C-alpha cells in the first residue's frame, strides 16, 4: 500500500508518468475519430468481489441476448440501458493471486499483493497513452470511509505507469477540485489552491537546485522527482489557460465538500468531478476505486452500518446490504452515461465514443482464488463492441485477454498484455483479443 507519506514520491513518479506528453490548450478536446474507436474509457472497480449471481439474469446459463431478460435487483438501475450492456462471466485471474485484493494486479493482469509495488503498467494507463491526448490523460478517484479518506487523502493500490511507478488516487473532493478547477475557484478553495501551488513551485525550485550535489545514480533518480513536480505545476498552468472552457463544466461546490454527513456525500461529489473531467475533455481515462483497492469501504449513507473487511465475509446474492451497495454503483454508472450523453460529440454524444468497464479488484468474492472474474461493459463505441447480451466463457482465458481486446479496440495491435509466452502457456488457452467482445 502506498499512502500520504509517499505522496511526494508518488507525485513525481505517478504524475510524471501520466503527463509525459506535451499538450497545447487548443488540443484540450480531441476531434471525433469517426471510425468507432473509443475516445475515452472508465474503469469502475468495487472491492470485496463481484459475485456473478448479482448481475446475471435468473435462468441464463448460456450466452444470449438480454432483450427479454430481466436484470437482477442489484443492477436493476441498468434495465433501461441493457441494450448497451454486455455481461461477461468466465474469465479468470488465478495468476494474480487476488485473495483480499489483487491490488495493482487487477488492472495489470499480474501477481499483486498488499504493499507490493506494481511490476508493470496497468491497462488504464496504457489506454491513456493510446487514446486521443488530453491535458490530464489519466485521472484516478478513490472512495472509502470518511476516516480513511481524511487520514489518507491519496493512496495508490490499483493503477501504475510502470514497474515501481504507482499512480495515486484522489480521495477528497476539495483536493480534486483544486487540481481540476483551482484556477477558477473562489473562497477557501481558491486560497488553498494558491497556497498549495506556491509550495509546489518552491519544492520544484529547491529540488532542482539541490539535486546537482548528489552522486550520479542518486541525481538521476532525484531528477525524476523534480520532473514530477514540474509536470504537476505545468498541468496547473495549462488548465489555467483554458479557464473559460472549464467554467462550463465545473460542478457547484456545496456543503457536501466540507461538511459531509456521510461518506456517500463525498462519493457523490467525487463522481461528479470525475464526470465533469470527462465531459470537459480534461481527461480521457477515469479509474474509480470504490474501497480503493483494499478491504475497507463504508456506505453508511445507504443505511449500511457494517463496513470494512466484514462486508467481504457476507454472501452477496440476495443480501440486502450488497443489494444496496450494488444498486448504488449501478446508479453511479447511469450518472456517468447520462453525463456523457448530455455532451454532443460528432454526430452523436460523448457516450457514443465511451466504454465503461465495471468489475472488482478481487474477482468474484473476498478470499477468492480468481477462478472467475465477472465484468460488465457499457457502451459500444460506434458499434465496435457487442452489447445487449450475456456471454458465458469457459474459464480458460485470463483477464489479460480483455485488456488486449481494449487495446486492440483503441488501435494498438497487440496479442498479449503483461503476460509472457511462458506464463501464457500455463494460464491462457488462446491468443489475442476476446472475439466474444468485439462486434
The tens digit of pLDDT for each residue in 33-57 reads 445 678 999 999 999 999 999 999 9
CA proximity to 245, closest of 311, 183, 338, 328: 183
Q: Report percent pLDDT > 70 for the chain.
A: 80
> What pLDDT score does 242 carry?
81
Q: Distance (Å, rounded) from C-alpha 26 to C-alpha 29?
A: 8
| 53-89 per-position pLDDT tens digit | 999 999 999 999 999 999 999 999 999 999 999 999 9
List CB contacts of 113: < 8 A, sequence separation 6 or more.
97, 103, 105
Which segment, 91-95, 192-196, 248-252, 379-383, is predicted with the most confidence on average? 91-95
> What pLDDT score does 276 carry?
96
**Per-chain mean pLDDT for the chain:** 85
- What is the torsion angle, in degrees rounded to the nearest 10, for the CA atoms of residue 240, residue 242, residue 246 and residue 247? 80
Rounded (5°) CA angle 304-307-309:
145
Domain boundaries, the chain: 4-177+253-427
The Cα-based distances of 249 to 103, 192, 240, 320, 423 in angstroms read: 32, 21, 14, 36, 45
DSSP assignment of 258-312, as one string? HS-SSHHHHHHHHHHHHHHHHHHTS-SEEEEEETTTTT----GGGT----GGGGG
Q: Report residue 161 CA to chain centroid gap.
A: 13
Q: What grid cell was written down for 169?
A: 488516487
- What is the torsion angle, in degrees rounded to the nearest 10, for the CA atoms of residue 156, residue 159, residue 161 and residue 162? 90
Q: Distance (Å, rounded) from C-alpha 229 to C-alpha 131?
A: 24
> What pLDDT score does 199 carry?
46
Beta bridge partners of 170: 141, 154
* CATH architecture of the domain formed by 4-177+253-427: 3-Layer(aba) Sandwich (3.40)
pLDDT band at residue 196 using 50, 70 and 90 as cut-offs: low
Q: Distance (Å, rounded) from C-alpha 41 to C-alpha 356?
A: 6
Amino acid at each position: 500500500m502506498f499512502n500520504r507519506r509517499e505522496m511526494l514520491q508518488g507525485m513525481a513518479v505517478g504524475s510524471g508518468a501520466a503527463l509525459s506528453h506535451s499538450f497545447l490548450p487548443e488540443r484540450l478536446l480531441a476531434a471525433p475519430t469517426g471510425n468507432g474507436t473509443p475516445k475515452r474509457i472508465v474503469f469502475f472497480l468495487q472491492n470485496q468481489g463481484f459475485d456473478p449471481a448479482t448481475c446475471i439474469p435468473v435462468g441464463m446459463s448460456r450466452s444470449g441476448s438480454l432483450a427479454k431478460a430481466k436484470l437482477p435487483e442489484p443492477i436493476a438501475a441498468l434495465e433501461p440501458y441493457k441494450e448497451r450492456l454486455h455481461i461477461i462471466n468466465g474469465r479468470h485471474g488465478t495468476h494474480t493471486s487476488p485473495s483480499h485484493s489483487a491490488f495493482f494486479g487487477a488492472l495489470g493482469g499480474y501477481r499483486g499483493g498488499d504493499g507490493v509495488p506494481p511490476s508493470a503498467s496497468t491497462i488504464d494507463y496504457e489506454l491513456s497513452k493510446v487514446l486521443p491526448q488530453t491535458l490530464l490523460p489519466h485521472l484516478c478517484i478513490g472512495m472509502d470511509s470518511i476516516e480513511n479518506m481524511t487520514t489518507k487523502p491519496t493512496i495508490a493500490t490499483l493503477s501504475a505507469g510502470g514497474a515501481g511507478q504507482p499512480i495515486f488516487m484522489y480521495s477528497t473532493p476539495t483536493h480534486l477540485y483544486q487540481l481540476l478547477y483551482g484556477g477558477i475557484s473562489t473562497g477557501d478553495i481558491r486560497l488553498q489552491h494558491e497556497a498549495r501551488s506556491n509550495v509546489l513551485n518552491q519544492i520544484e525550485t529547491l529540488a532542482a537546485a539541490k539535486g546537482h550535489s548528489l552522486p550520479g545514480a542518486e541525481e538521476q533518480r532525484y531528477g525524476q522527482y523534480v520532473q514530477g513536480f514540474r509536470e504537476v505545476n505545468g498541468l496547473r498552468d495549462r488548465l489555467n489557460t483554458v479557464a473559460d472552457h472549464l467554467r462550463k463544466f465545473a460542478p457547484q461546490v456545496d456543503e457536501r465538500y466540507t461538511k459531509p454527513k456521510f461518506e456517500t456525500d463525498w462519493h457523490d461529489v467525487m463522481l461528479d468531478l470525475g464526470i465533469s473531467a470527462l465531459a470537459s475533455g480534461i481527461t480521457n481515462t477515469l479509474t474509480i476505486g470504490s474501497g480503493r483497492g483494499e478491504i475497507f469501504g463504508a456506505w453508511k449513507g445507504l443505511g449500511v452500518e457494517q463496513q470494512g473487511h466484514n462486508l467481504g465475509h457476507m454472501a452477496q446474492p440476495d443480501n440486502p446490504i450488497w443489494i444496496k451497495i450494488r444498486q448504488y454503483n449501478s446508479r453511479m454508472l447511469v450518472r456517468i452515461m447520462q453525463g456523457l450523453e448530455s455532451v454532443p460529440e460528432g454526430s452523436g454524444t460523448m457516450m457514443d465514443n465511451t466504454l465503461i468497464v465495471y468489475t472488482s479488484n478481487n474477482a468474484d468474492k473476498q478470499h477468492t482464488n480468481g477462478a472467475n472474474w465477472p465484468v460488465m461493459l457499457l457502451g459500444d463505441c460506434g458499434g465496435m463492441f457487442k452489447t445487449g447480451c450475456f456471454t458465458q466463457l469457459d474459464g480458460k482465458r485470463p483477464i489479460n485477454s480483455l485488456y488486449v481486446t481494449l487495446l486492440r479496440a483503441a488501435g494498438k495491435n497487440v496479442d498479449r498484455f503483461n503476460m509472457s509466452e511462458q506464463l501464457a502457456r500455463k494460464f491462457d488457452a488462446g491468443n489475442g483479443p476476446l472475439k466474444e467482445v468485439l462486434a
